[in-house]
Amino acid sequence: MIEKSAIDLARARILVTGGAGFLGSHVVEELLERGVPRDSLIVPRSAEYDLVEPEAAARLLDRTRPDVVIHLAAVVGGIGANRARPGEFFYKNLMMGAQLMEQARLNGVKKFVSVGTVCSYPKHTPVPFREEDLWNGYPEETNAPYGIAKKALLVQGQAYRHEYGFPSVHLLVVNLYGPRDDFDPSTSHVIPALIRKCVEAREEGRDHIMVWGDGTPTREFLYVTDAARGIALATERYDGVEPMNLGSGMEISIRELVERIAGLTGFEGAIEWDVAQPNGQPRRCLDTSRAKRILGFRATTGFEDGLRKTIQWYESRRMSPSHLAP
């Protein structure tokens, strides 16, 4: 049964793992805007707390004593990074989440929010992806280790709720984009990778860019501030045992995405397709009706507006001494 919780964010001590990262920094800003005092927000850094290490999570929870944990820390990347480092992606993501949740349980945390991924869905899930379809097949192979590691945290949370009454919820988030994203070619996801590729080709006067795959797969994208708002709402209001999708409900092909980004960045050259490289999952688009019904959540940032803001942020950062640091 899905019910609403009653967490008063403004009165809670909230631990946000990954809170200095792309999504995490926006979640922290959203919580501050919702009245959470700055001294009630705990943002650990990996240099001090490497959550992959068994004792780090215990030390973190013992020292900080949060009421709420929002777990965003993760090892992430695009298709290339997932394909090159599947063992690392599986082990580190699983260990970070599993150990943190166990320590949260032992320390009496009042709510644990586990932020998962659309990559957990089966490769051939009917569109739009419903939460009920999560177990109807194996994920797309190139990111299955990452997706399964994240899905294991859903199982852990459900098991802990059943045995211990532990209040854990699990969110399934689509591909994100926006300011402070990762634009490193070796680890970036599709939107920042394409923005960087188009901007550099424009500046260098190149007559074409090369894009992986054949352009036919579809993706759904959620602007990062919308995602942060959804996570804050779920932290405040959701207490269901079942996972919850967070997305925009918009589906776009990679081919159309490249054309839009090329136009917005001013790249006028040809787009060539490297069909020897993988496409990834054939289609991705979430059914967001559960989040709308329970949280009143709906993405409010138009896709083209979000792309413009992301491109502007990237181009402004390329001109600064700090380059692409958040």
Residues taking part in catalysis:
146
The strand pairing partners of 42, in sequence order, are: 15
Tokens 């699990």 correspond to 170
CA distance to 136, 192, 229, 318, per residue, from 211 (Å): 31, 13, 32, 22
- C-alpha distances in Å from residue 238, one per residue of 3, 168, 170, 218, 293: 7, 10, 10, 29, 11
* Radius of gyration of the chain measured on its C-alpha atoms: 19
- Three-state secondary structure call for residue 127: coil
Distance CA 206, CA 249 (A): 35
Burial of 36 (0-12, 13-18, 19+ CB in 10 A): buried
Please give the angle made by the CA atoms of 11, 97 and 175, to the nearest 5 degrees: 90
Residue type, 314: Y
Dump the DSSP string for 191-260: HHHHHHHHHHHHHHT-SEEEEES-S--EE-EEEHHHHHHHHHHHHHHB--SS-EEE-----EEHHHHHHH
DSSP state for residue 112 in the 8-state scheme? E
CA 26 to chain centre: 12
Cα 115 versus chain centre, distance: 7
SS3 4: strand
CB 72 within 8 A of CB 51: no
